[in-house]
Chain A
Amino acid sequence: MAGPLGSACSSGSLSLPLRAGLCCSVTSLPGGAEARARPAGSTMSSESSKKRKPKVIRTDGVPAEGKRGKGDTDQDVRYYSEESEVDLRDPIKDYELYRETCQELQRLMAEIQELKSRGIKENASEIDERRVQSCVHFMTLKKLNRLAHIRLKKGRDQTHEAKQKVDAYHLQLQNLLYEVMHLQKEITKCLEFKSKHEEIELVSLEEFYKEAPPEISRPAITLNEPHQQTLARLDWELEQRKRLAEKYKECLTSKEKILKEIEVKKEYLSSLQPRLNSIMQASLPVQEYLFMPFDQAHKQYETARHLPPPLYVLFVQASAYGQACDKKLVVAIEGSVEEAKALYKPPEDSQDDESDSDAEEEQTTKRRRPTLGVQLDDKRKEMLKRHPLSVTLDLKCKDENVLHLTFYYLMNLNVMTVKAKVTTAVEMTTAISAGDLLSPDSLLNCLYPGDHGRKTPNPANQFQFDKVGILTLSDYVTELGHPYVWVQKLGGLHFPKDQPQHTVAADNSLSASHMELTVKLLRSRLQSRLALHKQFASLEHGVVPVSSECQQLFPTKIVSRLVKWTAIPYEDYAELPYTKDVIEAGLAEDTHLYYMALIERGTAKLQAAVVLNPGYSTLPPVFSLCLNWKGERNSSNDDNIRAMESEVNVYYKELWGPKPGYQLLTNQLQRLCMVLDVYLETEPHDPSVEGPKEFPQEKMCLRLVRGPLRLKPFKFNYPQGFFSHR
């Protein structure tokens, strides 16, 4: 299309700025014309293209780039006459002209066409004529085109100018509006501005005017103008704050100073503590010298804090009693304090332990299942667990023998137990029969009547025992100690009989009320046992030891002798036929001690079965006699044997001897020998038997028989030395 475009451009090129548009518009017009005229004017177009070629060189078209620069310069020089004409001519008329021209052109083309179709040679001149006319028309068209273009351009220019003005105004308007808005915003901002001064709490007006000095408050001005007033107030506020800030700084510094002083004094005090300790240490020898062991007592009280309540009560009461009444009573605490502290771990630890132990337990049950017996055993051990601390009481006697008592507390059962031990000043030769006398198991038996220490005194324990299959505490007493009732009383534990109580707490007054009596009983028990021990040693050798104060109870000459003294078990005692009365009377229980004595004179043998109550010598031993001499005589078939028994069993108070009466047993034995003598010597002579009496009468008797029972004279009278009836 370069050809037609170039031609169009050449025909219709105008001013510079409208080149593109013009070129387009130009192309459209001639393009259309060209389109109609193409089939007919193909030669013409080629001709016109040839014609236009120099115009092409003149007017640079759009596609010809290289020629543009040249075209530009050319265009600057060019000026169309139509530019001036356009103002003069009427566009409507131009439009009419255009239409006419187009019609003419159409007519001419049609004629040409017609002519061409008739034949070429004839019509050549007509064709040329018409061609020339059409060319003129074309020229007119071109002019019209130019005019149109110029008009358009002018119109556009005008529009453009107007538009530009409008745009400028518009822009101005916009600017102004924008500024207005901006200013409005600023105004509102200013109006909304809250000055920080409003957040400050100022003193009230009255105060301000009162306090502020006049150069600040300036009442003349400020009263009228609120702004000035506020300013003044702010000034005053500022001044005040400055003053206060200074004060604050001063206070800070003084506080710092004081803190430093405090530090210094604290250090001084903390350095004092070790010095006091060293003084205490240094004073220990002085304490010992003066027999005032404060330090020791203090340490004891420290450990005492970890004692369980019953042991604590016991400790306190025993110490108090020892200090007040009994210098020979020494109280001490033994055991591991750390273990005691460990018992009272805080709950979080114990929870951790529980979870750990649960995990452990699970593990162990998975690995090996413990047998039921082992589990029960563990539970039993747990139930019978002792508190790690124990209280020891040492009772010293005048002869330097010591009774050591160790008191334990069974935590889960809430009972106390005791273990006893005796240390003697002199090594004692142990008589065979005296084996049980000082044994720890039975030493403290029946300190109070009926207090065997086999059963637990706490009735609630029975339910606990049932759970773990413990029948009775007596199986464990050798290991745990005896739970005597007096031990519980000393610890302040009182268990009302057969009524399980919720919790029995340790009671100081109960302990205090029993302390003195119990200590006295313990001492007398120890001493009586020791006395018996000595006596037994002598009895086993066949010698009845009679002290000088008791010599007046017996005649100088007693022929019957003790030949044997042995201890016998309870079962043997119970089997003897002549002891049934004693057993039936409840005087012989399995907690008592049993002995057999054999007294002989000539052919007569007197067997004496002795039951020794643990409460010797307050409670006398009971003798049962059996005489083997010409038959077996005992209390059921011989009234005199009964009388002999009553001499030792019933009239024992004469035989106590000097206080505290530990010689009762030996005096009783001596009396038995004496009455056997009397019995044998006062037997009536049997005329049927030949020969003299086996036992000639040597004792002086007033009467041989008396009373319906025909009793012999068994009572010895001092100092006359004869026997009479009671």
Chain B
Amino acid sequence: PRNPPQSPVLEFWDPPQRFGGFWGVLGPPRPPNPPQISGWFWGYFGVFWGVLGCLGPPRPPNPPQDQWVALAGGDGAVRVLDLESGAFTAELRGHQDLVHVVALREQLPQVLSGGEDGTVRLWDLRTGSQVQLIEVHKYQECSRPQLGKWIRCLATESDWMVCGGGPALTLWHLRSVTPTTVFPLAPPQHHALFHQDMVLSGGVGPALHLLQLNGDVRGRVPVSPPALRSLCLHPRSPEHQVLTVGGNSPKIDVFTNLGYRAFSLTFT
């Protein structure tokens, strides 16, 4: 919100399967050094090097013992950071401009990344090379040239992908690389999630959108921040459904029922 990037920006991640809570703090840029990323989880403290960019949710790769993070870089590279050693294991270059968002595919060792240049690229983690390139802005259904071509939000579930930003929020089928549904949301979306049979998304405008996969807007839940930047679900237990959203406001909204806001957390 009003806090300049000089102070840390918090992004919450849902706790991965293996380890407990983990969240990352984007540290301030300290010229000439690139900005720091500090990460903690309950077990121990560790400070990692990183680059400015969005942090993707860590998912344990095939061997559950491996713990790593995929980082979207402001310089256009996607990096893979090993949490135990604190070193970058891979660097995936290809984007022309800064990378906004990364997403991991569950079954395959692949990483999707979306960036300012308007492309969504698929990367293979084993080979470290680009597998596929989707230029979203070139598709008529979803492109909105007046807003730009940048891809800000990206989420994937099995064969499906949802992405949006400058272009409209669209549901893609990855195998066929076709946009199946374009969600009728006017403002650019900043974050999207797959949840059960819905897509949750938030962006410019004080609303959390509940979207059905066929393109219907199931609901618009008002939230405190005037614009949403990040949504986070606690997906594990079906009886405790908690969603937290944050945006450009000092408040973090907590939802126990996706229909309405339960309460807000404020920084004092």
Residues of A within 8 A of B (CB): 635-637, 639, 642, 645-646, 649-651, 684, 686-689, 705-708, 710, 726
Contacts and interface: CB of A to CB of B under 8 A. Distances in A.
Nearest to B225: A636
B201 to A, nearest CB: 15
Given A636-B226, A705-B116, A707-B52, A646 B2 contact: yes
B204 A705 contact: no
25 contacts: A635-B226, A636-B206, A636-B226, A636-B227, A637-B187, A637-B205, A637-B226, A642-B1, A646-B2, A650-B2, A686-B145, A688-B145, A705-B97, A705-B98, A705-B116, A705-B150, A707-B52, A707-B74, A707-B98, A708-B54, A708-B190, A708-B229, A710-B116, A710-B150, A710-B152
Q: Which among A639, A642, A708 has the highest number of chain B CB atoms within 10 Å?
A: A708
Q: Can you list the 10 inter-chain pairs with the closest CB atoms, starting with the nearest?
A: A636-B226, A686-B146, A687-B145, A688-B145, A684-B148, A650-B4, A708-B54, A637-B204, A646-B4, A688-B146
A706 B74 contact: yes
B21 interface: no
B100 interface: yes
A726 B3 CA distance: 13
A649 B5 CA distance: 14
Q: Which among A635, A707, A726 has the highest number of chain B CB atoms within 10 Å?
A: A707
A708 B152 contact: yes
Contacts of A651: 4
Contacts of B1: 642
The binding surface of chain A is classed by DSSP as: loop
B145 A637 contact: no
Contacts of B146: 686, 688-689
B67 interface: no
Interface string B107-137: 0000000001000000000000000000000
A684 B226 CA distance: 23
Contacts of B206: 636
B209 to A, nearest CB: 16
A684 B248 CA distance: 23
Nearest to B54: A708
Given A686-B146, A688-B146, A707-B74, A637 B227 contact: yes
A425 B204 CA distance: 54
B205 A726 contact: no
Interface residues of B, number: 27
Interface in B82-99: 97-98
A706 B74 CA distance: 7
A726 B4 CA distance: 9
Contacts of B148: 684
Contacts of A710: 116, 150, 152
A718 B4 CA distance: 21
Interface string B213-237: 0000000000000110100000000
Interface in B40-54: 52-54
A688 B148 CA distance: 11
Contacts of B152: 708, 710
Nearest to A642: B248
Interface of B: 1-2, 4-6, 52-54, 74, 97-98, 100, 116, 145-146, 148, 150, 152, 187, 190, 204-206, 226-227, 229, 248
Contacts of A705: 97-98, 116, 150
Contacts of A637: 187, 204-205, 226-227
B5 A726 contact: yes
Contacts of A684: 148
Contacts of A688: 145-146
A651 B6 CA distance: 11
A684 B147 CA distance: 8
A707 B5 contact: yes
Contacts of A642: 1-2, 248
Nearest to A637: B204
Contacts of A646: 2, 4
Contacts of B5: 707, 726
A391 to B, nearest CB: 45
A688 B143 CA distance: 11
Given A650-B2, A726-B5, A639 B227 contact: yes
A281 B187 CA distance: 87
A687 B143 CA distance: 12
Contacts of A706: 74, 98
Contacts of A707: 5, 52, 74, 98
A726 B226 CA distance: 23
Given A687-B145, A707-B52, 15 more contacts: A636-B206, A636-B227, A637-B227, A639-B227, A642-B2, A646-B4, A688-B146, A705-B116, A707-B5, A707-B74, A707-B98, A708-B53, A710-B150, A726-B4, A726-B6
A708 B9 CA distance: 11
Contacts of B6: 726
Nearest to A711: B5
A453 B190 CA distance: 48
A686 B206 CA distance: 26
A726 B229 CA distance: 20
A684 B150 CA distance: 11
A645 B187 CA distance: 21
A707 B73 CA distance: 10
B11 to A, nearest CB: 9
Nearest to B230: A708
A706 B115 CA distance: 11
Nearest to A651: B4
A551 to B, nearest CB: 25
Contacts of B2: 642, 645-646, 649-650
Contacts of B204: 637
Contacts of A635: 226
Nearest to B149: A684
Contacts of B52: 707
A686 B147 CA distance: 8
Nearest to B187: A637
A636 B2 CA distance: 11
B39 to A, nearest CB: 18
Nearest to A684: B148
Q: Which among A636, A646, A687, A726 has the highest number of chain B CB atoms within 10 Å?
A: A636
A687 B190 CA distance: 23
Nearest to A687: B145
B171 to A, nearest CB: 22
A187 to B, nearest CB: 124
B71 to A, nearest CB: 13
B229 to A, nearest CB: 7
B103 to A, nearest CB: 15
Contacts of B229: 708
A708 B205 contact: no
B6 to A, nearest CB: 8
A686 B150 CA distance: 13
